[in-house]
Amino acid sequence: MKNDYEDKVMDHYTKVAQTVGLASSCTMEDEYIRAGETRAILSLVETAARNIPERLRVLDVGCGNGYTLRTLAEQIRNVGLEDRVELMGVEKNPDLLQLARKMNEDWPVVVVGGDMLCPGTLAIDPGSVDICVSQRVVINLMDPADQQTALGNLVKLVKSGGHLLFIECFQDALDNLNAARKEFGLEPNVPAIHNLYLPPGFFDMPGLEEAAPAGWDIRPNIFSTHYYVQRVLQSALRGNVIDRNSNFVRFFSAALPEGVGDYSPIRIHCLRKKPAE
């Protein structure tokens, strides 16, 4: 049965696909966040590929225009791991699906259409994925019950002992950001109309634990300083402007220590599907 937010989300991404196309800014205009997310994903795949003797299957669910998959394919070839990693993407929006295929047409990447809420549409066997990446995708399910269903569906796709990397937005961190904005008399930031931020404890589920492969140690709050610089300091000094890639933001996000505080709604969580006892 179709839910009442689906058309809104679909229309948003169709417009984005048609206006932004194959650019890395498609679905992520902030270059600092895009670079940090890509770094986290590449290093997780590389670390796991070096730790695990078998060939690794990586799934990018809601892969958008395929930018991350393409970057992963290039990187694993550059470090000589192309025979060790299999890359797959799933995308629900037909326009983005087409872009993702075009983006990766010269690379050994398989992109299929599908909906993570309907496991039957995914054409991926349960328990067959080593790393599942969800990069700002669960927040597109604008019903808490659907978000939990999607989490359960993704966990089922992953092998016992495999990992899930969630780069998603969280309501409690947005509350922290808005408390900091309030000190400067700034109105609260609110989620985009096609997003529902996740609640605390979202990943509390039997059989799932917060754990990363040895050697991968990216903290959930790596974007915190950047958010404070962009959405508090810059907004206070420049009349509440949102200018994601300004000189001011580039300078201070590079000059200050990364990940101070908990002001970034976007957090990175690496989880492990516990092996059955």
Ligand X SMILES: C[S@@+](CC[C@H](N)C(=O)[O-])C[C@H]1O[C@@H](n2cnc3c(N)ncnc32)[C@H](O)[C@@H]1O
Q: Please give the residue ranges that form the binding site for ligand X (CB under 6 A).
A: 9, 13, 27-28, 62-64, 67-68, 90-93, 96, 115-117, 135-137, 140
Q: Write down the least CB distance from residue 139 to ligand X, Å.
A: 8
In this structure, are residues 76 and 49 in contact, taking their beta carbons and an 8 Å threshold? yes
Question: Given the complex with ligand X, which of 136 and 181 has the nearer CB atom?
Answer: 136
End-to-end CA distance of the chain: 36
In this structure, are residues 139 and 12 in contact, taking their beta carbons and an 8 Å threshold? no
Question: For tokens 């989880």, what's the residue?
Answer: 271
Q: Write down the least CB distance from residue 89 to ligand X, Å.
A: 9
Q: Write down the least CB distance from residue 16 to ligand X, Å.
A: 8
d(CA 152, CA 142): 16
Name the pairing type of β-strands 56-61 and 129-135.
parallel
Question: Given the complex with ligand X, which of 93 and 224 has the nearer CB atom?
Answer: 93
Helix (H, G, I), strand (E, B) or coil at 139: helix
Question: Given the complex with ligand X, which of 27 and 224 has the nearer CB atom?
Answer: 27
Q: Write down the least CB distance from residue 123 to ligand X, Å.
A: 12
Question: Given the complex with ligand X, which of 99 and 232 has the nearer CB atom?
Answer: 99
d(CA 39, CA 190): 27
Q: How far is CA 109 from CA 57, 63, 67, 164, in A?
A: 11, 12, 11, 19
Q: Write down the least CB distance from residue 24 to ligand X, Å.
A: 8
Question: Given the complex with ligand X, which of 16 and 232 has the nearer CB atom?
Answer: 16
Question: Given the complex with ligand X, which of 96 and 196 has the nearer CB atom?
Answer: 96
Q: Write down the least CB distance from residue 195 to ligand X, Å.
A: 8
Question: Given the complex with ligand X, which of 85 and 124 has the nearer CB atom?
Answer: 124
d(CA 126, CA 152): 11
Q: What angle do CA 259, 229, 194 make, to 5 degrees?
A: 85
d(CA 195, CA 13): 12
Question: For tokens 């700034």, what's the residue?
Answer: 186
Q: Write down the least CB distance from residue 255 to ligand X, Å.
A: 26
Closest CA to 69 of 57, 79, 83: 57
